[in-house]
Amino acid sequence: MNKLITKFLILFFILTNNIIAEENIMILKLKDGDVKIELFEDVAPNHVKRIKQLAQEGKYDGVVFHRVIDGFMAQTGDVKFGNSSNDGFNLRSAGMGGSDLPDLKEEFSDLPHERGTLSMARSQDPNSANSQFFICLKESSFLDRQYTVFGKVIEGMELVDKIKKGDSDNNGSVSDPDKIISFK
């Protein structure tokens, strides 16, 4: 009887761990294919909750990568001005907006900003992250412990590398930018 209970508990643990793991995997669909992202709910629970909420509401679908600096990062997530699918789209203002939800308190950690890291964009105020985020194109340790890391690309980084780059003379601003097709 004890062996049966032990086997049941082990099976239950394995199944619930897989369910939790799948809960923290999202697919960022780009023009060239799907990017698989792991979210770090244990490190940045409030930021992960926000990303999931906005994604489930479809807020990221159609949002442009308004700032992409070759060899540094690709920024997106302005659901107010950066959504090319709605009437409020304004490429000149993309990067200045967020969601209607309140800004988030920082959740800085010791996780490094390495290639493939997803981190929240913010203003000078560390507690101003809202909906915008960026994907590091290469190691950017100068950002460590100053921006909230909430995830990492685990498959498809070569697709992120194909995102249209911005003008290096204009802080990475992108004319005719690529966009998020869907984020689920």
Reported as a single tens digit per residue, the pLDDT across 12-30 is 554 444 444 578 999 999 9
Asked whether residue 172 is domain-assigned, the answer is yes
The dihedral sign for the CA sequence 74, 97, 110, 34:
negative
Q: What is the pLDDT of residue 60?
A: 98
**Which range is least confidently modeled, 14-18, 111-115, 133-137, 163-167?**
14-18
Alpha-carbon distance of 35 to 110, in angstroms, equals 24
User: Which CATH number fits the domain that encloses residue 161?
Assistant: 2.40.100.10
Closest by CA to 132, choosing from 171, 90, 104, 168, is: 104
Alpha-carbon distance of 129 to 27, in angstroms, equals 22
Asked whether residue 75 is domain-assigned, the answer is yes
Burial 1-12 (b: 16+ CB within 10 A, else e): eeeeeeeeeeee
pLDDT in tens, 24-55: 999 999 999 999 999 999 999 999 999 999 99
- DSSP secondary structure letter of residue 64: B
**Tokens describing residue 173:** 């601003």
Residue 76 structural domain: 26-183
**What DSSP letter does each residue of 99-149 carry, written as one string?**
-SSPPBPP---S----TTEEEE---SSTT-B-S-EEEESS--GGGTTTS-E
Q: What is the pLDDT of residue 164?
A: 97
**Tokens describing residue 20:** 């939790």
Asked whether residue 15 is domain-assigned, the answer is no
Indicate the pTM of the whole model: 0.88
Q: How many domains does the chain have?
A: 1
> Is residue 10 very low, low, confident or very high in pLDDT (cuts 50, 70, 90)?
low
- 68 CB-near residues (< 8 Å, 6+ apart): 74, 75, 163, 164, 165, 166, 172, 174, 177
Asked whether residue 175 is domain-assigned, the answer is yes
Coil, helix or strand for 157? helix
- DSSP secondary structure letter of residue 165: P
